[in-house]
Amino acid sequence: MITAATRPDLVGLVPEEAEATLRTFLGERGHPSYRVAQVLTWVYDQDSLSPGEMSNLPRALRDQLAEAFQFTAPEVAKISRSVDGTTKQLWRLPDGELIESVLIPTSSRLTLCISSQAGCAMACSFCATGWAGYRRQLSPGEIVAQYRGARRWARENGYGEISNIVFMGMGEPLMNPKALFPALTILSRGYRVGARRITVSTVGVVPGILRMAEMPEQFRLAVSLHAPNHELRQQLIPLEKKYPLPELLDALRRFDHAGGKRITFEYVMIDGVTDAPELADELASVVGEFTAFVNLIPFNPIPGTEWRPSSRARLSYFVQQLQARGISAFVRESRGSDIAAACGQLRAEVTQGRKPVQISAR
Ligand code: SF4
């Protein structure tokens, strides 16, 4: 018997699998083979939410598709639009979980930041999502559906086409490899988003970085470094205890040597914590061997901490120190601060008081 749980999710199958599944399904029901391409066009080019929208298919086929397949499409729980154009979408999944994606327009690109987990188990001390705890893994379809939903919204609201995708929303993407890697394949092969335009951001999950190093596609990697030594880093990122900095750097060397795979280092600037002048030198020594960019991110205050962002003078000092050592370093200006667009903030507002789930992130 076909149930919601056993129906394949056309949004979450990698393209080759989607095509083979459709070919078998349509063939068994006597439909011509060109219908496969028609259905896939509706999925990948039109972001179709259901077979009901597939207007060039016969009614009987649309009904059969609706009965046999899922088309994951989370409901919009809230949309917040900043004065700077940054737009945050809060999605409600069928089981009530909430996840976020953020559209960030600039003069030259439209970047979509998406989530890979509901909540996050990594508990980084500077992060609203980390404080709220882990709920569950997302499926490949739930990851890709954020892109489809945001792309539809962007087209309908005059934002144009999404040019870049970053996995910097809620969750640690490399702790959800069963969904992340199929989602990368679907986005790059199905939706034809160039691998170099997709960035996976990690706090340092070494096995995942090694897997990315071996991929033929040149997906980008962003590493949330946030401290240039083990002692300080383990105070900010608990995962540092499992994968200490030397091990992380070894994995990054493998990624770097794979060629054409640029690394971005993220470094949060917290007043009196990560911004001491000597740390700038230490940071330059750590990242100097890589073909890399360093993004300095002014800390975004979250309720429950007394930490404050670094002063402008400290930010400038850091940038100058890094640039003087030949490292490309920039300050990443905060976007959408009037709509709580930093990682996990909107969800944290909506789910205040709900208990996190204590389970493995695998
Ligand atoms: S910074 Fe990333 S990995 Fe760390 S708690 Fe937040 S979402 Fe999780």
**pLDDT, tens digit, for every residue of 157-178?**
999 999 999 999 999 999 999 9
Q: Is 32 exposed, middle or buried (0-12, 13-18, 19+ CB in 10 A)?
A: exposed
In whole angstroms, give the CA distance from residue 274 to residue 299: 10
C-beta neighbour count of 45 within 10 angstroms: 11
For 214, residues 6+ apart whose C-beta sits below 8 A from its C-beta are 258
Greater pLDDT, 136 or 344: 136
For 15-68, the fitting CATH number among 1.10.150.530, 3.40.50.1370, 3.30.420.40, 1.10.10.60 is 1.10.150.530
For 266, residues 6+ apart whose C-beta sits below 8 A from its C-beta are 201, 222, 223, 224, 225, 226, 295, 297
What's the pLDDT score for residue 262?
A: 80
> Which residue is listed with tokens 């951001």?
201
Angstrom CA distances, 331 to 70, 203, 307, stand at 42, 19, 19
Beta carbon of 98 within 6 Å of any ligand 1 atom: no
- Confidence check: pLDDT of 2 > 60: no
120 classed as catalytic: no
172 classed as catalytic: no
Greater pLDDT, 210 or 350: 210
Q: What is the pLDDT of residues 87-122, one digit of tens each?
A: 999 999 999 999 999 999 999 999 999 999 999 999
Query: Which among 100, 142, 240, 266 is annotated as catalytic?
Result: 100
CATH class of 75-350: alpha beta
Extract the tokens encoding 123. 């508990």
Q: Mutation test of ligand 1: which of 122, 295, 300 has the most ligand atoms closer than 8 Å to its C-beta?
A: 122
Please give the distance, rounded to the nearest whole angstrom, from the Cα atom of residue 149 to the centre of ligand 1.
23
- Confidence check: pLDDT of 1 > 90: no
Beta carbon of 223 within 6 Å of any ligand 1 atom: no
Give the atom of ligand 1 at the shortest distance from the alpha carbon of 172.
3
Beta carbon of 150 within 6 Å of any ligand 1 atom: no
Beta carbon of 99 within 6 Å of any ligand 1 atom: no
pLDDT grade for 341, boundaries at 50, 70 and 90:
low
What's the pLDDT score for residue 188?
A: 98
Domain spans, the chain: 15-68, 75-350
Angstrom CA distances, 106 to 22, 58, 74, 148, stand at 39, 42, 26, 20
Beta carbon of 127 within 6 Å of any ligand 1 atom: yes
Q: Say which range, 70-79, 116-125, 184-193, 296-305, has the weakest mean pLDDT.
A: 296-305
pTM for this predicted structure: 0.92
Extract the tokens encoding 144. 């890709």
Please give the distance, rounded to the nearest whole angstrom, from the Cα atom of residue 223 to the centre of ligand 1.
11
Q: What is the pLDDT of residues 252-289, one digit of tens each?
A: 999 999 877 789 999 999 999 999 999 999 999 999 99
Coil vs helix vs strand at 327? coil
